[in-house]
Amino acid sequence: MASASTQSLVGDTQPVPGSELACALRSCKVAFAGVAAFSGVSNILMLTGAVFMLQVYDRVLPSRSVPTLIAMAILAAVLFVGQAVIDLVRSRVMVRIGTELDEAVGGRVFTAVSRLPLHIGLQGDGLQPQRDLDNIRAFLSSPGPSTLFDFPWLPFYMAIIWSLHPILGITAICGAIVLMTLTAATEVFTRKPLGAAVLTGVRRNGFAEASRRNAEVLAAMGMGQRLHDLWREASREHLTQQQRVSDIVGGFGSLARALRLMLQSTMLGVGAWLVIQGEATSGVIIAGSILAGRALAPIDLAIAHWRNFVAARQSWNRLSKLLARLPPGAQPMALPVPSSNLTVERIAIGAPGTQRIIVQDVEFSLDAGSVLGIIGPSGSGKSSLVRGLVGAWRPLAGRIKLDGAALDQWSSERLGRYIGYLPQDVELFAGTVAANIARFDPGSDPEAIVAAARAAGVHQLITDLPDGYQTHIGEGGTALSAGQRQRIALARALYRDPFLVVLDEPNSNLDVDGEMALAESILGIKARGGIVAIVAHRPNILAAVDFLLVMKEGQMQMFGMRESVLPKLFPAPQVKAESLRPFSASPRLSN
């Protein structure tokens, strides 16, 4: 089964974006056919109890034959055990269908989760797509879907009840209509509160995640109680909607069970009346009641599992829309390794998920071996610009080119080999130091890892750690200091000598030794023919740059050689180029 689904998803014919879930289920059609066959046999075996009671009342009791009773009891026991085995197999097949769905679509969902912030920003619950997939898998593994395979057998049971007597059949059909009306009412009354429950749940989870990420800030500034109150308010709204859904489903479920029991009693009463009228035997009374209960059981179970069914349906719709919005990345033709220049053509950049343009009308060109310093006050668009340079944010207008080819002509994986990026907010991953430097490349070269560490001036720091390069740094690199994380992230950016290295405030957490190592790293990249773009607030790092780009209010205010731009910005002699060297208490540029 695994090979079938995998082939359908990654074979020669790719599914239309958004139809991956449907394609994954279609790949399990043989398994579904097996479940349908098992359901058919199970429903036929469900007649065992009714037939047994009918024979006991109509044959055994009048004949008083003990051997006949024993033989029938043994046969019934065998059939009941067989039914149990079939139901067990059916449930296990459904569990494996859910697992197969996760296996087939899980990779696409993970990719969508990781790419989603690049399209809508960090708004909402970023892990909701993964939860949606879990909801769908859990529903497929629950008893809920089995009721869908039992529904088609409702006419079969009604026909058998009708064969016992038409009046019994009419009574059972009327009961079925009432219960199906309750099922439709459950759908109508739960649709709106279930949607509201999902939205309030996302809001509540957002407060919890923000509090977890900023635990130190909350503790230091006494904001914990205030965030707690906001979370409590969102939680109350969520629980109110959940309670409303539970009340509706529970109310209709209780009513459905009461009506089913009432119908069974009604069937007993009608059967007794028919016996009194001489139109049926005494066995018909019990058999009709049992068959009516069995016939309507799927409706009762559907109402009981309706909440899970609607939740799975909503998850299916959300996930399908998300996968349609984020289709798999195309695999363009492999281009030569960039080695000549970086060109920026009047680009405009906005944050994902917003319509506001942050950077506009920026254009420049750098040849191999150039170092660009990007400076400007806070909010001038420096970090947004470098996010565009590395391809994290796509330009709304204009193009960014390496050796004349726009960044979108490379796949993300291939482009990543030629780009090194040190973001302003350094984030490392749970794993070893070596794995983080190697970007978790399974075929990483130890010599390349050490070379990157040496280029970043962090080799000695790493060897001083308890387990050296094999030291586990914990989630987010919590086992390291801010400066250590920044320097290891710099080594990651330099792994395998990328052509374009973009550094966003790389010296924000560095001491004097760290700044000297950073300056040497920049000179090393320049010497090997790479291009460096560095965002700086401290003027001492500008001694290593060739060009300066001055940003103001999202636009390029000045661009040119360092020697020509610096005097225009800082005419005072204390900031001449020769005075720009590392020192411990570094002044900051205009902020």
Whether the pLDDT of residue 368 is over 80: the answer is: yes
The pLDDT value given to residue 558: 92
* Residue span of the structural domain in which 70 resides: 20-325
Do residues 165 and 296 share a domain? yes
Do residues 378 and 498 share a domain? yes
The pLDDT value given to residue 53: 83
CA nearest to 354, candidates 320, 400, 393, 399: 393
In a domain, 6, yes or no: no
Do residues 131 and 171 share a domain? yes
Question: Residue 124 — pLDDT band, cuts 50, 70, 90?
Answer: low
* Cβ contact 90:38 at 8 Å: yes
Do residues 296 and 358 share a domain? no
Do residues 134 and 274 share a domain? yes
Q: What's the token pair of residue 315?
A: 């998850």
Question: Residue 453 — pLDDT band, cuts 50, 70, 90?
Answer: very high
- Compute how many other C-beta atoms are within 10 angstroms of the C-beta atom of residue 491: 29
In a domain, 149, yes or no: yes
Q: What's the token pair of residue 499?
A: 């052509």
Q: What's the token pair of residue 365?
A: 């060109």
The pLDDT value given to residue 584: 36
- Compute how many other C-beta atoms are within 10 angstroms of the C-beta atom of residue 33: 10
Calculate helix-pair angle for 47-55, 29-45, nearest 10 degrees. 20
The pLDDT value given to residue 576: 47
pLDDT tens figures, 96-123: 898 888 888 888 888 877 777 776 665 5
Taking the model in full, what pTM does it have? 0.70
* Cβ contact 283:57 at 8 Å: yes
The pLDDT value given to residue 220: 72
222, with CB counted inside 10 A (0-12, 13-18, 19+), is exposed
The pLDDT value given to residue 3: 41
* Cβ contact 376:553 at 8 Å: no
Do residues 483 and 527 share a domain? yes
Question: Residue 572 — pLDDT band, cuts 50, 70, 90?
Answer: low
The pLDDT value given to residue 561: 92
* Cβ contact 289:271 at 8 Å: yes
Do residues 288 and 142 share a domain? yes
The pLDDT value given to residue 583: 35
In sequence order, what are the residues at sequence separation of 6 or more whose Cβ sits closer than 8 angstroms to the Cβ of residue 473? 428, 430, 431, 432, 433, 436, 479, 480, 488
The pLDDT value given to residue 528: 92
Question: Residue 586 — pLDDT band, cuts 50, 70, 90?
Answer: very low
Dihedral sign (CA 444, 449, 450, 452): positive
Instruction: Give the Cα separation of 428 and 483 in Å (integer).
Output: 12
> What are residue 583's phi and psi, to 5 degrees?
-155, 160
Start-to-end CA span in the chain (Å)? 60
Instruction: Give the Cα separation of 111 and 323 in Å (integer).
Output: 10
Using the 3D structure, point to which of 325, 359, 394 is the last residue of a domain: 325
Do residues 346 and 235 share a domain? no
Instruction: Give the Cα separation of 332 and 315 in Å (integer).
Output: 32
CATH number at residue 263: 1.20.1560.10
The pLDDT value given to residue 429: 85
> What are residue 157's phi and psi, to 5 degrees?
-65, -40
- Compute how many other C-beta atoms are within 10 angstroms of the C-beta atom of residue 479: 17
What's the chain's Rg over C-alpha atoms?
35
pLDDT tens figures, 216-243: 667 777 777 777 787 888 888 888 888 8
Question: Residue 588 — pLDDT band, cuts 50, 70, 90?
Answer: very low
pLDDT above 90: percentage of residues in the chain: 22
Instruction: Give the Cα separation of 348 and 397 in Å (integer).
Output: 5
In a domain, 5, yes or no: no
Whether the pLDDT of residue 156 is over 50: the answer is: yes
CA nearest to 483, candidates 506, 450, 453: 506
In a domain, 1, yes or no: no
The pLDDT value given to residue 213: 67
Whether the pLDDT of residue 498 is over 80: the answer is: yes
In a domain, 247, yes or no: yes
Whether the pLDDT of residue 549 is over 90: the answer is: yes
Question: Residue 8 — pLDDT band, cuts 50, 70, 90?
Answer: very low
* Cβ contact 539:575 at 8 Å: yes
CATH number at residue 424: 3.40.50.300
Question: Residue 157 — pLDDT band, cuts 50, 70, 90?
Answer: confident
Per-residue pLDDT, averaged over 5-9, amounts to 39
Whether the pLDDT of residue 164 is over 60: the answer is: yes
In sequence order, what are the residues at sequence separation of 6 or more whose Cβ sits closer than 8 angstroms to the Cβ of residue 442? none
Do residues 427 and 290 share a domain? no
In a domain, 563, yes or no: yes
Tell me which amino acid residue 229 is. D
Per-residue pLDDT, averaged over 302-317, amounts to 81
Do residues 211 and 313 share a domain? yes
The residue assigned the tokens 């970043």 is 456
Residue 500, strand partner residues: 419, 531
Give the least confident one: 339-343, 425-429, 545-549: 425-429
The pLDDT value given to residue 119: 65
Per-residue pLDDT, averaged over 371-400, amounts to 91
- Compute how many other C-beta atoms are within 10 angstroms of the C-beta atom of residue 330: 7
* Cβ contact 7:310 at 8 Å: no
Using the 3D structure, point to which of 298, 325, 352 is the last residue of a domain: 325
Does 194 or 591 have the greater pLDDT score?
194
The pLDDT value given to residue 1: 40
Q: How far is CA 210 from CA 200, 372, 479, 490, in A?
A: 15, 35, 21, 27
Q: How many domains does the chain have?
A: 2
Q: What's the token pair of residue 392?
A: 């994290």
Do residues 282 and 384 share a domain? no
Do residues 249 and 370 share a domain? no
The number of residues making up the chain comes to 591
